A = this chain, B = another copy of it.
Amino acid sequence: MAQALAIDWPRILGTTIKILLLLFLAFALLRLGGAAIDRFLQERDRLGPMNGRRVKTLRTLLKSGFKYTIYFVTLVTVLNLFGVRVEAILAGAGVVGLAVGFGAQNLVRDVITGFFILLEDQFAVGDYITIAGVSGTVENMELRVTRLRDFSGQLHIVPNGQIKQVTNHSRGNLQALVDVGVAYEENLERVMTVLQEICEQVARDLADVIAEGPKVLGVVNFGQSDVVIRILAYTKPLQQWYVERELRRRIKDAFDREGIEIPYPRTVVLNMSGGEKNAQVSGW
């Protein structure tokens, strides 16, 4: 047994040197390859016009693919230097294979999903999207992960395999929606006229961010204390909250001016200071 544990120092040294060389080579290749891809795409760009987004997609695809290939080849070579026959393991179907196969399926799914997201142009860097329960602006896309930054400043790193469905907020006009409750006593005609005037003003003043002018939709609910009226507009992506705030501010001003009330909650109280029931109970 002592023999089995004897240490073959020269072989260890040789292997160590080989590994260091290999890692250096891999590192150099990664640098060179990335630069080559960039230069190639610039050349391509100069020859003729090409859609910017497509170029970006192609670059991500090429760079990511190149990077993971280098990683994989380096890993396999290093493991071979240690005497681990990776090819044999990958071809076999024993326990190791089973465990690795199951454990790695997430990895495979990440890459496949990432590939299709790129191929189908589901979202691009800079889009504001919702995936896997988090919303944010895409900071970076790779074959395996997508990085989002949300409004609160947090960075979300989502493996692509976790992306079941994509909601993209940057591919079309978005809806600005303001619900206003007015008292049951108000004259609906008059309220709607006032609101319609505000809508027209806003449509004029914010013409640069509004796609489809705000309009008064009508009575969408009989509330407990108010009649709820809805105003609707379509705006440039991510401008909807700004338009809503602006609409609210102007409505508040106009209602103050016109004497239209946004009602507080109301309750009808029936007072009962004695009577049948009290008579039954002793005392209080």
List of B residues within 8 angstroms of A246 by Cβ? 218
Q: Is A209 an interface residue (CB 8 A)?
A: no
In the bound complex, do residue B162 and residue A168 qualify as a contact, i.e. CB atoms below 8 Å apart?
no
Cross-chain contact B284 with A272 (CB below 8 angstroms): yes
Q: In the complex, what distance in Å separates the CA atom of A180 from the CA atom of B227?
A: 12
A264 at the interface (CB under 8 A from B): yes
Residues of B contacting A91 in the complex (Cβ-Cβ under 8 angstroms): 92, 94-95
Say if the beta carbon of A42 comes within 8 Å of chain B: no
CB pair A97–B94 under 8 Å, yes or no, is: yes
A residues adjacent to B (C-beta < 8 A)? 1, 5, 18, 21-22, 25, 71, 89-109, 111-113, 116, 119-120, 122, 130, 132, 134, 144-145, 149, 151-159, 162, 164-169, 171-175, 177, 180-181, 183-185, 188, 217-222, 224-225, 227, 234, 240-241, 245-246, 248-249, 252-253, 256, 259, 261-278, 280-284
Write the nearest CB–CB distance from A36 to chain B, whole angstroms: 11
In the bound assembly, the distance between CA atoms of A172 and B84 in angstroms comes to: 42
CB neighbours (8 Å) of A234 from chain B are 153
Best-buried of A130, A253, A262 by chain B (most CB within 10 Å): A262
**A269-B267, A282-B259 known; A168+B188 contact, CB < 8 A:** no
Measured CB to CB, the closest approach of chain B to A241, in angstroms, equals 8
By a CB distance below 8 angstroms, the chain B residues around A241 are: 220
Whether B268 contacts A280 by the Cβ 8 Å rule is no
Given A165-B132, A270-B272, check contact A281 B183 (CB 8 Å).
Answer: yes
Contact: B149 with A175, CB < 8 Å?
A: no
Task: Determine the distance from Cα of A134 to Cα of B95 in the docked complex, in whole angstroms.
Answer: 33
**A111 CA to B185 CA, complexed, in Å:** 58
